[in-house]
């Protein structure tokens, strides 16, 4: 698959000025300017995040109403139900809010909808459960912004809703007691890119401020929030970066029992990065909802006893192993169905497991770079996940096909949807028509954003140590990527791994040989043989082998 290396261009005068102001070299200054950091104060905030940098939670529309309604429920002894989606963002949100409010009342429960029986978001079944169990207030997290009919249904049953969501609002807004969502057009909250758990945390922050609870007492929830921020792929800027920064400190110093047990299962040791969270912890949390039920994830995340958490982690690990097998098998089947002549991909099978279709959609885009939807079937309805490519607004495309859908919701780059089986052919044609009419040629080419071109001799321990301080990484603050042209392998380059799918090189420099690894790049071996010069795209990493740690390049591409 063709991949474009897109080098970011900058004003060299601005870079030189920042380098002089900060006393750093121009490579570091270049990386900072690319991230919107152009002066000393910006750099100080970036490298030294502070809790004081967080926004006032009461700036969010509806916050005071939400706090007042919760305080009334606590005062009157009402039963409160914490409701959230079955993915990482939803289950971390529910666990966080449940633990916090449990400090003030024992009349509290939580509810995670069944992925297969109820589907995404607020369900009528969940509301019926609340009525049966005599809950009078539901706090919905990471869902609810489009649940207009469900909120009306709850109102008839005299159940109040507070909605904490971060998804794009529809034309009609539910008539809840309060809606906390910074993406509402009339919400003046300064940061719009919080995760669902992030919106929930702002509610906790507001309650704490009104009760004069010190921030340090709610800081214990930032480990859950960091997991949510990493897994939900929200911008790693402003508040998200501050919250993730302190959340990662807790994960590395004193994580809650459930996270500790999951970290042990992941096999990760030493200081964990946000990447370790995304690829080691998050898939295990997700696996509970994909294979069994999302409430299993909440059970382990709220468990305070480490031995019990370890017991629960055994079941979750088994689900994760099953999830991996399903992912591999379904991806293989789906790849054979793709029509390479189309600008979009919509694939479906009755036998596919609904819990992994989102993962499969992402896998397909890695091979065929175009907007992709993967669907599975239940009771004559097809439900699934959609994933987009850079720059293409998937949500808007689905909106133009709304007349053929039962429901949908999500973001610019990811969405969930339900379509009746009899409408599938019409939907496939309409979606392809919309995509073909609106997507550009450039958007159909996979792209690696490259920070700058440097020489291999400029790669050293000092540069690596500074780049490490850019963490936590994520969208809008990704790990820096570099290009170096006309490099050669020392002759030690080879395919590695059990199935020889990876590539390990030893690159020539004027000082010493530099190791590099390209995962899944075994097919590029022919490009580096016979002492032929080639160009590389990479990030700078470290590798530990037999107790020895050295710099290593993490290859992204070879040309």
pLDDT band at 492 (very low <50, low <70, confident <90, very high): confident
Burial of 245 (0-12, 13-18, 19+ CB in 10 A): buried
Do the beta carbons of residue 486 and residue 535 sit within 8 Å? yes
Average pLDDT on 166-178 reads: 94
Listed range (237-246, 275-284, 351-360, 406-415) with the worst mean pLDDT = 406-415
Average pLDDT on 291-317 reads: 96
Those residues whose C-beta lies under 8 Å from the C-beta of residue 548, and which sit 6 or more positions away, are none
Does the pLDDT value for residue 156 go beyond 90?
Answer: yes
User: pLDDT by residue (tens digit) across 83-96?
Assistant: 999 999 999 999 99
Does the pLDDT value for residue 1 go beyond 80?
Answer: no
Listed range (74-78, 259-263, 542-546) with the worst mean pLDDT = 542-546
Average pLDDT on 273-292 reads: 93
H or E, element range at 307: helix 306-335
Between vectors from CA 199 to CA 194 and to CA 200, what angle results, nearest 5°? 145
Does the pLDDT value for residue 545 go beyond 80?
Answer: no
Average pLDDT on 302-331 reads: 96
CA 85 centroid distance within chain: 14
Average pLDDT, rounded, for the chain:
94
Cβ atoms within 10 Å, residue 371:
28
User: pLDDT by residue (tens digit) across 507-526?
Assistant: 988 777 899 999 989 999 98
Do the beta carbons of residue 358 and residue 385 sit within 8 Å? yes
pLDDT at 189: 98
Average pLDDT on 241-250 reads: 98
Average pLDDT on 209-235 reads: 96
User: pLDDT by residue (tens digit) across 180-207?
Assistant: 999 999 999 999 999 999 999 999 999 9
Domains in the chain, CATH or no CATH each? 3-48+448-558 (2.40.50.460), 57-318 (3.90.1640.30), 337-444 (3.10.310.30)
Average pLDDT on 419-429 reads: 95
Q: Residue 9: what are its φ and ψ, rounded to 5°? A: -100, 145
pLDDT at 513: 83
Q: Give the position of tokens 């929200």.
A: 234
pLDDT band at 372 (very low <50, low <70, confident <90, very high): very high
């Amino acid at each position: 698959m063709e991949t474009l290396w897109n080098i970011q261009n900058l004003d060299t005068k601005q870079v030189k000025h920042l380098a002089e102001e900060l006393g750093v070299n121009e490579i570091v200054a270049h990386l900072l300017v690319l991230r919107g950091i152009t002066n000393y104060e910006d750099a100080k905030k970036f490298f030294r995040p502070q809790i004081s940098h967080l926004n006032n939670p009461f700036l969010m529309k509806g916050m005071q109403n939400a706090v007042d309604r919760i305080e009334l429920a606590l005062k009157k002894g009402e039963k409160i139900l914490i409701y959230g989606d079955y993915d990482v963002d939803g289950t971390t949100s529910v666990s966080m809010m449940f633990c916090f409010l449990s400090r003030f009342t024992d009349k509290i429960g939580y509810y995670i909808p069944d992925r297969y029986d109820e589907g995404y978001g607020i369900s009528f079944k969940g509301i019926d459960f609340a009525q049966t169990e005599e809950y009078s207030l539901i706090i919905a997290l990471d869902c609810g912004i489009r649940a207009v009919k469900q909120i009306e249904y709850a109102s008839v049953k005299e159940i109040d809703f507070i909605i904490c969501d971060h998804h794009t609002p529809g034309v009609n807004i539910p008539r809840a007691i309060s809606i906390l969502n910074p993406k509402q057009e009339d919400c003046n909250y300064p940061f719009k890119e919080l995760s669902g758990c992030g919106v929930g945390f702002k509610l906790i922050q507001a309650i704490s401020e009104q009760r004069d609870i010190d921030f340090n007492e709610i800081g214990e929830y930032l480990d859950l929030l960091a997991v949510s921020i990493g897994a939900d792929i929200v911008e790693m800027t402003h508040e998200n970066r501050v919250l993730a920064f302190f959340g990662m400190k807790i994960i590395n110093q004193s994580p809650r029992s459930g996270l500790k047990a999951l970290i042990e299962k992941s096999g990760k040791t030493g200081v964990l990065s946000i990447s370790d969270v995304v690829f080691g912890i998050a898939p295990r949390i997700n696996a509970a909802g994909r294979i069994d039920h999302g409430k299993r994830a909440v059970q382990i995340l709220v468990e305070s006893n480490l031995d019990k958490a370890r017991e629960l982690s055994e079941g979750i690990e088994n689900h994760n192993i099953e999830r991996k097998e399903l992912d591999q098998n379904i991806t293989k089947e789906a790849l054979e169905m793709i029509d390479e002549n189309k600008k979009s991909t919509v694939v479906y099978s009755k036998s596919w497991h609904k819990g992994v279709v989102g993962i499969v959609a992402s896998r397909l885009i890695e091979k065929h770079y175009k907007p992709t939807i993967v669907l599975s079937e239940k009771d004559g309805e097809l439900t699934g996940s959609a994933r987009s490519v850079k720059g293409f607004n998937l949500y808007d495309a689905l909106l133009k096909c709304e007349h053929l859908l039962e429901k949908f919701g999500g973001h610019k780059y990811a969405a969930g949807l339900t379509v009746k089986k009899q409408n599938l052919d019409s939907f496939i044609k309409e979606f392809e028509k919309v995509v073909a009419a609106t997507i550009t040629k450039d958007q159909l080419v996979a792209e690696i954003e490259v920070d700058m071109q440097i020489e291999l001799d400029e790669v050293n321990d000092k540069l690596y140590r500074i780049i490490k301080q850019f963490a936590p990484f994520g969208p809008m603050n990704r790990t820096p990527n570099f290009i170096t042209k006309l490099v050669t392998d020392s002759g030690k380059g080879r395919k590695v791994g059990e199935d020889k799918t990876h590539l390990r090189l030893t690159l020539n420099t004027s000082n010493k040989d530099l190791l590099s690894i390209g995962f899944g790049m075994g097919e590029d071996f022919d490009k580096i043989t016979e002492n032929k010069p080639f160009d590389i795209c990479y990030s700078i990493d470290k590798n530990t082998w037999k107790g020895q740690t050295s710099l290593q390049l993490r290859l992204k591409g070879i040309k």
